[in-house]
Amino acid sequence: MSERRYDPTHDEWVTFATNRQDRTYKPPAAACPLCPTRPGGPETEIPREHFEVAVFDNRFPSLTTTPPEPDIAGTDLVPVEPAYGHCEVVVFTDDHDATLASVGTQRIRLLVDAWADRFAALAADPRIAYVLPFENKGEAVGVTLHHPHGQIYAYPDVPPRPAREQRAAAKHRDRTGRCVFCDVVAQETGGPRVVVEGTHFLAGVPPWARFPYEIDIWSRAHVGTIPELDAAARDDLARVLARVLAGYDAFFGIRTSYLLGIHSAPVGGSGPEADPTLGHLHLEICPPHRGEGKLKYLAGSETFGGAFLTDVAPEVAGPRLRAAAADVEVPA
């Protein structure tokens, strides 16, 4: 089964991809499908002995450009449609034991270029409305392949959370005439929640942090997507992201698990949710850790109410992470 079903009770689409039940699950390092294909070794997804960044179609996609017809017929109340879209895998090192925090600023800079290149290519598909690069890192967030990698999903509509951001941005602009994220950057710059100050990007614990040690990285300029960044801004994003991730590992004293997502302007669709002028490029990084040996789980209030309860005040988390990020040695 590979199809999308509309939920009229929440005004959103849910994707079913039962083929993913058979995806590779925690293979031993010797059988890792994301390692290079080396002489005498098993054939992997990447037919090279060495590489820096590799991008390819996900073998177990949730969305595809050639989706099968749905298994059931839709109704007026609950429409059903083929699960059209793109799912790509981005592998950013051939070192199985590395992490994005350890690969160095230059490699992250190359990854920024890869994100920009693939974003532009996927956005050119007229059936795509939103492109979302992301990384799930660590078993604490459910990762089943340990080789450092991320993914890029391209959706036929604007997903619920970005759509909600768009509506909030529209409401703020109608009220003030300004971009809500530009106002956030102006408010947070130089404040107690800042973690890393870059020339083009600002990293900080947002005042509304949903996770105890969440960090958002906001573009200082009103830029909608990564392809719009010039070389200097891309350099700065790589530096800021490298220091944030290295700071996490230094602060927690472990290889930090996290969810990292890049929020961008929509590239299609209709209505205020699709207004590209409302979009403001920012990264959101959410570690599940709330203290030594303690994890933040989404429980009843978050899952059923959508109302997050956070264990650490942003004014406490910000200085802690800022000190860790300032003291850590960041690989070049």
Task: Give the catalytic positions in this structure.
Answer: 149
Q: Any residues with CB less than 8 A from the CB of 305 and at least 6 apart, and which?
A: none
Could you give the residue ranges of the DSSP H alpha helices within the chain? 105-123, 160-176, 180-188, 231-252, 300-305, 314-327
Instruction: Note the Cα 128 to chain centre separation in Å.
Output: 18
- Distance between CA atoms of 249 and 102, rounded to whole angstroms? 10
85 neighbors 123 (Cβ within 8 angstroms): no
For strand 54-57 and strand 282-286, is the pairing parallel, antiparallel, or unpaired?
A: unpaired
- Distance between CA atoms of 253 and 250, rounded to whole angstroms? 5
Cβ neighbour number for residue 146 with a 10 Å cutoff: 18
- Distance between CA atoms of 93 and 180, rounded to whole angstroms? 36
Residue 284: phi and psi, rounded to 5, are: -125, 125
- Distance between CA atoms of 193 and 135, rounded to whole angstroms? 24
- Dihedral sign from CA coordinates of 134, 138, 142, 146: positive
- Dihedral sign from CA coordinates of 145, 146, 151, 155: positive
